[in-house]
Amino acid sequence: MKCEQQVEAALKSYEDVDSWKTVIFLYNAALKEVGTKLEILNDEFQHVHQYNPIEHIKTRIKTPESIVKKLKRYGYETSIENMVRYINDIAGVRLICSFTSDIYRLAEMIGNQSDLKVLSIKDYIKNPKESGYKSYHMLVSVPVFLSDSVVDTKVEIQIRTIAMDFWASLEHKIYYKFEGNAPDYISRDLQECAKMVAELDDKMLSLNEAIQECIVQAENRDNMDGVLENVIGNRKEQRSLHLDKAAGE
């Protein structure tokens, strides 16, 4: 049974409860499930590698106004059924990372979760939108365990760097003010800013890789110094024993 059908079946089970509240309950539960998984992954990475790939996690449920606008834009009537069927980002999680390399590492870790099903992927990092928008989108379904059933519920996960998130947040605010019809010169300036953000991400990634290489080299030198100290110490000890033995004879 598809996610949409399972949600619709759950709605019928709660016919005496407001349908909107039931749907929001399911999506909130799905957000909690995904959020917990991501926090565990982040903690595990810190435990194993002494490094946190996730800077912070944002979650949100789409507002009724945003859902209605999106349905109208897609050409569908406003209804709970259409909302569940055609709006994939009602429940959204945003993962903010330090570096672009973290994005694909996290995406792989999420995809390896056995009880998460990846429904679709949109890689706007390798294929940015015309506006300059960059992010990695994963649509997943997560099982929500109820008292008498299990409902697979859709959650959209967006993974991006701090710089990408900064640009996307400002772009959203600007276009919201102009209701999606910003003047051409503003669109061009935003595209230029997107290029600067991409260059910044590339530079910061290169710096991080250089720093990590320096750390490895320093550790190797420390290890070599330790080996040399042991070798020299052993030789001194052997020489001392040899001299003591000769003196005794």
Q: Which of 106, 94, 130 is nearest to 49 (CA)?
A: 106
Sign of CA dihedral 12, 14, 16, 22: negative
How confident is the model at residue 89, as a pLDDT?
Answer: 93
Give SS3 for 56: strand
| Cα–Cα distance, 100 to 237 (Å, whole number) | 52
How confident is the model at residue 12, as a pLDDT?
Answer: 60
| Cα–Cα distance, 106 to 138 (Å, whole number) | 11
Fold (CATH) for 3-183 = Beta Polymerase; domain 2 (3.30.460)
Average pLDDT over residues 160-168: 95
Strand 136-145 vs strand 150-161: parallel, antiparallel, or unpaired?
Answer: antiparallel
Q: Which of 52, 30, 31, 168 is nearest to 109 (CA)?
A: 52
Find all residues with CB under 8 Å of 49, minimum gap 6, and list them.
none
Q: Which of 132, 127, 136, 133 is nearest to 103 (CA)?
A: 136
- Predicted confidence band at 159 (pLDDT cuts at 50, 70, 90)? very high
Strand 150-161 vs strand 91-97: parallel, antiparallel, or unpaired?
Answer: parallel
Looking at per-residue confidence, does 150 or 121 come out higher? Answer: 121
Sheet strands side by side (includes 150-161): 54-61, 91-97, 150-161, 136-145, 117-123
- Contact between 30 and 10 under an 8 Å Cβ cutoff? The reply is no
Q: Is the pLDDT of residue 14 over 70?
A: no
pTM value is: 0.79
- Predicted confidence band at 162 (pLDDT cuts at 50, 70, 90)? very high
Q: Is the pLDDT of residue 203 over 90?
A: yes
Average pLDDT over residues 170-174: 85
Q: Is the pLDDT of residue 169 over 70?
A: yes
Residue 236, CA distances (Å) to 189, 228, 230, 242 in order: 70, 12, 10, 10
Give the residue numbers marked as catalytic.
156
- Predicted confidence band at 223 (pLDDT cuts at 50, 70, 90)? low
The angle formed by the CA atoms of residues 194, 165 and 181, to the nearest 5 degrees, is 60
Give SS3 for 247: helix
- Contact between 116 and 141 under an 8 Å Cβ cutoff? The reply is yes
How confident is the model at residue 240, as a pLDDT?
Answer: 57
Domain boundaries, the chain: 3-183
